[in-house]
Chain A
Amino acid sequence: MSVTTNNSIKSTIAMAALHSVIDPEIGLNVADLGLIYNLDFDEAGKKITTTMTLTTQFCPMGESIVDGVTQAMQQTFPDDTIQVDLIFDPPWSYDLISEEGREFLNR
């Protein structure tokens, strides 16, 4: 599943920033891991909503990963309000890992 968005340019910038947020257990970033589902840019309200998931609910590293996403988005878009929505439907699956992610895991 690729990331859905209403602003492809800003989404590219956001995804580049999210490449720096690593899932500490797997060692792979949240973008290539396929944890990001949607990026919504509300230009008028200056608000960005990131819809994401975790590899498993109540993942011991879940809070850190959500905090990491929030911090990375805020650093990239300092003038916007950052909102992170966590959903588990659809659940994350291994099929969501990108080609780059799979190559990383194969090393």
Chain B
Amino acid sequence: MLGASLGTDPIKTTSYKVVLPFYTYAALAFLAATLLLLFSAPAFGRHYFHPHVLAVTHTMALGWGTMVILGASHQLVPVLIEGKLYSNTLAYISFALAAVGIPLLVYAFYTFNMNWMARRGGELVIDAVVIYLINLGISMAKSKSENVHAVFVFTAGLWLLITTIVGLLLVYNFSMPMFAEDSLHYLSLHAHMGIIGWFLLLIIGVGSRLIPMFLISKYTNSKLLWWVYAMINTGLVGFVFMFVYSPPTYFYLLPVAAISAALLLFGNYCRMAYRQRLRKKVDEQVKISVLSVMMMALPVILLIIIIISLWAIGENTRLVLAYGFTIFFGWITAIILGMTFKTLPFIIWNKIYHKKAGLGKTPNPKDLFSNTVFVRMAVFYLSGFVLFIAGILSSMVVVLQIGALVLLLAAGLYNFNVLKLLLHKPVIQ
């Protein structure tokens, strides 16, 4: 006699089998990136266009940031569009292509061999992005609900595609020159399309839905989010045009101003959601995610200093390195460290306890990982981040090495908690 008569179709969410490989891969990539950082620490005291710096950056941007975001978005897109993910198979294919392509690309950067390995790696990553976009696009087309969050995510995916295509062209440009300048010249174009177009748009699109949800806040403001969307895209498109037409350097402050204004509006959105929350107690995972929103200010400040110094005295490579580091190891890493433990425990809980709900007392999802280890990880992470930045700015190799070691410890603790979650066995009282 048991059973809900209603088909579970309207509530069936993406299978954990789709999402877990992305999270596992990302955790290992974070560990690999911090290990590479430790062995390549001296390179961070030199120019940013260094093979080891490129290898670390791409491990962080693709293996860590992009993989965890792709995994999470397969789970969260159904919530945003109020519809099902079109295909699990496409998600598996997307994962497999990226999982093979990323190490090829990273190894090619590390050894600075820009021939077949870098090209195949880049092509596989592009294929993975195309398949992700097809899956996302069909899911959205089939859904009845259209909202600003889903538009953010899809546009971010398009920017990721453009970023990866430009990246591959730059790889080809090393051995078969096709542009007027060498690849180094176009690096900031490639980097900013990825950072602003992919990471920033996606994090704001998903974050603006999740932050009020996790805080149990009534606050919602689609109009403000559309403004944020318009300002970021206008700023980025403006930057691309300026890059192509090379106006005086101070013109670059215009897109920076548009994107900074968007960040301020999003910061205010988060503040309002926080003020109107019903849940008074905010857990550590949300705290570190909120901290990451504040950490967005660091690269913006550095960017303004870089533009002004570029205009006045020329390029300062230390500042450029610090800028990139505050983005990949600062803002993006902080939000992932927090959000992993707001999403993964629920995915694991659902996997293990979903048929056992209502039959006895089950553990709370937040009890499936160690909060003590999480807090230690957060302390190591923040200390390592500050030390490494100090190392970059002072060009002191020993400070860079200590910072990298502390970050490696943070990555180790992160992996410990992810593994604890993945290996969780059912407990029912």
A residues whose Cβ falls under 8 Å from a Cβ of B:
20-21, 24-27, 54, 56-72, 74-75, 80-86, 88, 94, 97, 102, 105-107
**In the complex, chain A residues whose CB is within 8 Å of the CB of B213:** 56
Cross-chain contact of B4 among A61, A66, A75 (Cβ < 8 A): A66
Binding site for A on B (CB under 8 A): 1-6, 8, 10-14, 75-76, 78-79, 81-84, 213-214, 216, 218, 278-281, 346-347, 349-350, 353-355, 357-359, 364-365
Contact indicator A54/B11 (Cβ below 8 Å): yes
A39 and B413 CA atoms in complex are apart in Å by: 47
**Partner among A58, A65, A84 whose Cβ is within 8 Å of the Cβ of B78:** A58
Chain A residues with CB under 8 A of B82: 56-58
Distance in angstroms from A66 CB to nearest chain B CB is 6
Judging by beta carbons under 8 Å apart, are A27 and B364 in contact? Answer: yes
* A interface SS class: mixed
Would you call A84 and B5 a contact (CB within 8 A)? yes
Tell me, rounded to whole Å, the shortest Cβ–Cβ distance linking B42 to chain A: 44
Q: In whole angstroms, what is the CA distance A71 to B3 when docked?
A: 8
Question: Among the listed A61, A72, A102, which residue makes an inter-chain contact with B346, where contact means beta carbons less than 8 Å apart?
Answer: A61
Taking a contact as CB atoms under 8 Å apart, the answer to whether B365 and A25 are in contact is yes
Instruction: List 7 extra interface pairs beyond A64-B353, A66-B8, A86-B4, CB under 8 A.
Output: A25-B365, A58-B13, A59-B11, A62-B11, A62-B13, A82-B1, A82-B4
| Shortest CB distance B393–A (Å) | 41
Q: What are the residues of chain A within 8 A of B76 when measuring CB–CB?
A: 60
The answer to whether B11 touches A74 (Cβ under 8 A) is: no
A–B Cβ pairs within 8 angstroms, 30 of them: A20-B358, A25-B365, A56-B82, A57-B79, A58-B13, A58-B79, A59-B13, A60-B75, A60-B76, A61-B346, A61-B350, A62-B11, A63-B350, A63-B354, A64-B353, A66-B11, A67-B354, A67-B355, A67-B357, A67-B358, A69-B4, A71-B359, A72-B358, A74-B1, A75-B358, A82-B2, A83-B5, A84-B4, A85-B6, A88-B10
Task: List the 7 closest pairs (A to B, CB-CB), nearest first.
Answer: A71-B358, A68-B357, A68-B358, A62-B11, A84-B4, A72-B358, A58-B78
B365 touches A94 (CB 8 A): no
B346: A residues at CB distance < 8 A: 24-25, 60-61
Shortest CB–CB separation between residue A62 and chain B, in angstroms?
Answer: 4
With known contacts A25-B346, A59-B13, A64-B350, A71–B357 Cβ distance under 8 A: yes
By a CB distance below 8 angstroms, the chain A residues around B357 are: 21, 64-65, 67-68, 71
User: Contact: A85 with B5, CB < 8 Å?
Assistant: yes
Residues of B within 8 A of A71 (CB): 2, 357-359
Report how far A75 CA is from B355 CA in the complex, Å.
14
A85 to B4, CA, bound (A): 7
Judging by beta carbons under 8 Å apart, are B79 and A63 in contact? no
Q: Contacts A60-B13, A65-B357 hold; do A105 and B216 have CB atoms under 8 A apart?
A: yes
Name the CB-closest residue of A to B76: A60
Residues of A within 8 A of B281 (CB): 107
* Interface pair B11/A84, CB less than 8 Å apart: no
* CB–CB A94/B4 < 8 A: no
Q: Residue A63 contacts which of B12, B83, B280, B365 (CB distance < 8 angstroms)?
A: B12
Are B11 and A63 closer than 8 Å at their CB atoms? yes
Partner of A60, one of B278, B350, B359: B350
**Whole-angstrom CA separation of A68 from B2 in the bound complex:** 12
- Are A24 and B365 in contact (CB-based, < 8 A)? yes
Residues of A within 8 A of B11 (CB): 54, 57-59, 62-63, 66, 86
**Interchain CB contact (< 8 A) of A105 among B2, B6, B280, B349:** B280
Q: Which of B279, B280, B281, B347 has the most CB of A within 10 A?
A: B279
User: Is the beta-carbon distance between B355 and A86 smaller than 8 angstroms?
Assistant: no
Write out the residue numbers on chain B whose beta carbons fall within 8 Å of the beta carbon of A69. 4, 358
- The distance in angstroms between the C-alpha atoms of A43 and B213, with both chains bound, is 39
Interchain nearest-CB distance for B147 vs A (Å): 12
Instruction: Name the B residues within 8 Å of A67 (CB-CB).
Output: 4, 354-355, 357-358
**A55 nearest in chain B by CB position:** B213
Whether B1 and A105, one on each chain, are in contact in the complex, defined by CB atoms closer than 8 angstroms, is no
User: A26 contacts which chain B residues (CB < 8 A)?
Assistant: 216, 279
Q: Which residues of A are found within 8 Å of B2, using beta-carbon distances?
A: 70-71, 74, 82
Partner of A86 from the list B10, B354, B359 (CB cut-off 8 Å) is: B10
Q: For the complex, what is the distance from the CA of A66 to the CA of B350, rounded to whole Å?
A: 12
Closest residue of chain A to B359, judged by CB?
A71
Contacts known (A24-B364, A67-B355, A86-B10); A81 close to B1, Cβ less than 8 A: yes
> How near does chain A come to B385, taking the closest CB pair, in angstroms?
29
Judging by beta carbons under 8 Å apart, are B358 and A63 in contact? Answer: no
Bound complex: CA A23 to CA B131 (Å) = 34
Chain B residues lying within 8 Å of A25, measured Cβ to Cβ, are 214, 346, 365
Q: Cα distance A13–B196 when bound, in Å?
A: 54
